[in-house]
Chains A and B, each alone.
Chain A
């Protein structure tokens, strides 16, 4: 697969169809993958594909990266789950479909965190999203690398995230509150969750609006709660459960739980799953007379 990927990248750069290929490459010791930006055909061999390719590179398509946009039309190497984020960016008018060349990778799953890798992809080191993945075959792509995957996700979603959500759902309000206040207490307000997220593309985040200061920047319980709740609300109906925020969090706040719970709520309320259709707008930005309004009591 790697060879086909490199060949395609080389062709695209040689023909001038794209100016940069955003993909994964090795670090110096070839122990971890890291994002690479290939601008000349002879560097195409630096691209790699393996279960360590965890990063969701779609973040580099957003307007946060004006210097990367200045390089010219990009091709992006993307797993099915990364493509979901590109789809959301398209539906929200951030990227035009024709402005990006998507090289979709057929995927058998990746590791939850690169440091867990011991040379073999075992189910225990894969994130919940991979166990339930229905996009192992890239569904929006200009070129697909890899044999068709025959994997079918389990009927009822399984994995740590879903188990934990059930556990929290069974708590009463004060139990839920105590759980989250404890988790958020570790927040250091580094905003890694926001920065790694391709759907947090605001040039000026609400936490940076300081006249007045809507969200207290202090890492105290009130500031941490308001930041984490606000970010969660801003991702409702948009988050695709790519898991980058939880992976990037230096203090291990289980953000996947919040995001997956929100996905379930949106599924129940609007029968909508984000990231599957680039022609459908997410429910939070459209009005539909058929919307259930049972939240208004």
Chain B
């Protein structure tokens, strides 16, 4: 049965999560923009925005984390792996588009090796999705087969009521357990009217099947369309950092001569050194080739290899791009 989560009960909910040793992550205003942050009080939460600038992936897959410690001595090197001991992570205010992204991340982090740093955190994560009542021209979830009504990836799906409270529907067992565990913060929902959802208009010229078909043929590699549409890309990688499904990382050793830490840091396929070989050869020599790779990853490699969505249509890459390179304009062109 649906439950009612009143705004006045958020402090109770946060307290209940934090007292059990968990983290409560929610959209919050920081440096003049709304971002996902660990919050301690309801007053820190932003309830009225389109979506957070960053994705919440950083709470499952941190920007930087120590995975091992090493010491160097005359007989060799000792490498001691770190264990990940995650606490429960509650993500409040995910949007239905980005909730879908966790299955894409899981697919890649369990593909040929189980990355426990990710899986153990995700196993203890509860996603409380809030359906969108606002949007902007960068939103395109409906074009990639999702919508504000999609519940895939959410543990609890919430809709805002006219009065500013939330109707909560448990989608998964984890979601049901969460509501039971924090029952004091929830009430039985009576017939409550919810706000109208914002439905982005589907972009007419985009056909995902046609894109997949075109990308499956290698000839497209040399299609001049890539350079024409994407040579303006400056290779900053901001799109990959805010993207909820981008997951590339780099392993780096830091420390002094005789010891230090091995870290796993976010990386980006948009950097010119990403595919630079030791020989000096770079198979993706120009920026438009790196851009083509990211597009391939989203619309060919993910769907083909993992049957998952590489792009959820959240539009973050469009909003954050300093040269306003709009992925939907490329999707439109590749649908031809």
In the bound assembly, the distance between CA atoms of A68 and B231 in angstroms comes to 8
The answer to whether A186 touches B30, judged by C-beta atoms less than 8 angstroms apart, is yes
Say whether A122 faces chain B, with CB atoms less than 8 Å apart. Answer: no
Mask: chain B, 318-329; 1 = CB below 8 Å from A; 0 = not: 011011111011
The answer to whether A55 touches B323, judged by C-beta atoms less than 8 angstroms apart, is yes
* Residue picked from B63, B252, B324, most chain A C-beta under 10 Å: B324
In the bound assembly, the distance between CA atoms of A68 and B263 in angstroms comes to 36
The answer to whether B287 touches A65, judged by C-beta atoms less than 8 angstroms apart, is yes
Q: Please count the residue pairs between chain A and chain B whose beta carbons lie under 8 angstroms apart in the complex.
A: 110
Say whether A217 faces chain B, with CB atoms less than 8 Å apart. Answer: yes
In the bound assembly, the distance between CA atoms of A247 and B252 in angstroms comes to 29
Say whether A15 faces chain B, with CB atoms less than 8 Å apart. Answer: no
Say whether B268 faces chain A, with CB atoms less than 8 Å apart. Answer: yes
Say whether A125 faces chain B, with CB atoms less than 8 Å apart. Answer: no
The answer to whether A219 touches B242, judged by C-beta atoms less than 8 angstroms apart, is no
Mask: chain B, 21-49; 1 = CB below 8 Å from A; 0 = not: 00000000011110100000000000000
Mask: chain B, 44-58; 1 = CB below 8 Å from A; 0 = not: 000000000110000
How near does chain B come to A26, taking the closest CB pair, in angstroms? 10
How near does chain A come to B60, taking the closest CB pair, in angstroms? 16
Closest to A36 in B: B232
Number of interface residues of A (CB under 8 A): 46
Q: A27-B329, A67-B288, A252-B31 are contacts. A189–B137 as well, Cβ < 8 Å?
A: no
Say whether A267 faces chain B, with CB atoms less than 8 Å apart. Answer: no
Mask: chain B, 223-242; 1 = CB below 8 Å from A; 0 = not: 00001000110111110111
The answer to whether B286 touches A248, judged by C-beta atoms less than 8 angstroms apart, is no
The answer to whether A217 touches B265, judged by C-beta atoms less than 8 angstroms apart, is yes
Partner of A190, one of B236, B252, B272, B319: B236
How near does chain A come to B323, taking the closest CB pair, in angstroms? 5
In the bound assembly, the distance between CA atoms of A67 and B329 in angstroms comes to 21
The answer to whether A196 touches B265, judged by C-beta atoms less than 8 angstroms apart, is no
How near does chain A come to B55, taking the closest CB pair, in angstroms? 11
The answer to whether B325 touches A34, judged by C-beta atoms less than 8 angstroms apart, is yes
Partner of A217, one of B250, B328, B329: B250
Q: In A34-78, which residues have CB < 8 Å from any B CB?
A: 34-37, 55, 59-60, 64-68
Say whether A229 faces chain B, with CB atoms less than 8 Å apart. Answer: no
Say whether A269 faces chain B, with CB atoms less than 8 Å apart. Answer: no
Q: A218-B254, A219-B266, A250-B238 are contacts. A192–B326 as well, Cβ < 8 Å?
A: no
Contacts of A114 in B (CB 8 A): 324
Contacts of B329 in A (CB 8 A): 27-28
In the bound assembly, the distance between CA atoms of A186 and B282 in angstroms comes to 31
Q: A218-B64, A218-B254 are contacts. A67–B323 as well, Cβ < 8 Å?
A: no
Say whether B273 faces chain A, with CB atoms less than 8 Å apart. Answer: yes
Interface of B with A (CB < 8 Å)? 30-33, 35, 53-54, 63-64, 137, 227, 231-232, 234-238, 240-242, 250, 252-254, 263, 265-266, 268, 271-273, 285-288, 319-320, 322-326, 328-329, 332
Task: Please name 15 pairs of A and B residues whose Cβ atoms are closer than 8 Å in the assembled complex, sorted by A.
Answer: A27-B324, A55-B323, A65-B287, A66-B285, A67-B287, A188-B241, A190-B236, A192-B236, A194-B236, A213-B253, A218-B64, A244-B322, A248-B238, A252-B31, A252-B32
The 6 closest A-B pairs by CB, nearest first: A192-B236, A248-B322, A195-B236, A34-B324, A218-B64, A67-B286
